[in-house]
């Protein structure tokens, strides 16, 4: 019989209870604030605090590069590779923008976390039967309020660390709204918590913000979206090779 590792015991009896407390407390503050503040900016501060607490408790240190490539007060569509469940707190804590995530609608059923997403302006999509017109309307409304979006265009976490093919839907929406796409590379998070493994480990993560890719002037076609997706993926692949 295999004896569970120290990281497993630490995760089950320390990290999971601690993260549950963070989620309940900050989720409650976020949900209450949503009845008083329509733009969700305080709720986003709760999300950033939640992210910081998770990273600090786990022992994850993030080294960010390329933030100087971004314009202050600008609105972007950030697209990132997806190695770990920890990518979300890493991105939320590191990028100094009001972010709203594009996620599957089933997350809305999760207590506190899902309620936060539903109440504070995040874009939840039915993967089985998406409504393109509704998604574009919600996408445009978020961007018009000066909010930036974060998308994981692989659609799921990588099991082996390789960057999968990017789906073109988010890139087509970016072209239709004329908002620059910013590739974001995350490396090292996979080893903090491997897909399918309960144990978490302290670690060092590198996050690289690449040059924004302009979308204005591009034709809103599937082909143009596919080309833009390939450019974003290539930037992320090059950073992974360099790291």
Determine the pLDDT at residue 225. 96
Which among 208, 233, 238, 188 is positioned nearest to 86, based on CA atoms? 188
Whole-model pTM: value is 0.91
Which among 92, 129, 124, 131 is positioned nearest to 106, based on CA atoms? 124
Domains within the chain, CATH numbers bracketed: 6-242 (3.40.1130)
The token duo for 124 is 């939840």
CA distance 223 to 53: 42
The token duo for 199 is 């144990």
pLDDT in tens, 72-95: 889 999 999 999 999 999 999 999
Q: Sort strands 181-187 and 77-80 into parallel, antiparallel or unpaired.
A: parallel
CA distance 112 to 41: 17
The token duo for 77 is 């569509």
Determine the pLDDT at residue 221. 95
Longest dimension (CA), the chain: 62
pLDDT in tens, 216-231: 999 999 999 999 999 9
**pLDDT tens sequence for the chain (243 residues):** 565 788 999 999 999 999 999 999 999 999 999 998 878 889 999 999 999 999 999 999 999 999 999 998 899 999 999 999 999 999 999 999 999 988 888 888 888 888 898 888 888 888 777 778 888 888 898 888 889 999 999 988 887 778 999 999 999 999 999 999 999 999 999 999 988 888 999 999 999 999 999 999 999 999 999 999 999 999 999 876 544
Determine the pLDDT at residue 183. 97
Strands of the sheet containing 123-125, edge to edge, are: 60-65, 203-209, 181-187, 77-80, 148-151, 99-104, 123-125
Determine the pLDDT at residue 2. 60
Let me know: does 205 contact 152? Beta carbons within 8 Å: no
Determine the pLDDT at residue 208. 96
Determine the pLDDT at residue 243. 46
């Amino acid at each position: 019989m295999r004896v569970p590792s120290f990281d497993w015991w630490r995760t089950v009896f320390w990290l999971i209870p601690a993260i549950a407390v963070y989620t309940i407390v900050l989720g409650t503050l976020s949900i209450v604030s949503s009845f008083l503040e329509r733009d969700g900016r305080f709720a986003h501060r709760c999300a950033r605090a939640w992210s910081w607490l998770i990273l600090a408790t786990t022992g994850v240190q993030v080294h960010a590069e390329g933030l100087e490539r971004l314009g202050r007060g600008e609105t972007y569509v950030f697209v990132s590779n997806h190695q770990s469940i920890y990518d979300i707190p890493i991105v939320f804590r590191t990028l100094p923008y009001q972010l709203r995530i594009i996620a599957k609608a089933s997350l809305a059923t999760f207590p506190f976390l899902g309620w936060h997403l539903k109440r504070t302006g995040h874009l939840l999509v039915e993967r089985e039967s998406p409504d393109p017109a509704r998604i574009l309307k919600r996408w445009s409304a978020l961007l018009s309020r000066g909010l930036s979006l974060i998308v994981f265009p692989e659609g799921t976490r990588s099991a082996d660390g390789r960057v999968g093919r990017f789906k073109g839907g988010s890139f087509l929406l970016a072209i239709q709204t004329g908002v620059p796409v910013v590739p974001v590379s995350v490396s090292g998070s996979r080893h903090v918590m491997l897909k399918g493994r309960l144990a978490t480990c302290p670690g060092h993560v590198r996050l690289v913000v690449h040059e924004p890719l302009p979308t204005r002037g591009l034709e809103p076609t599937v082909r143009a979206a596919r080309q833009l997706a390939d450019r974003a993926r290539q930037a992320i692949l090059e950073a992974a090779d360099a790291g």
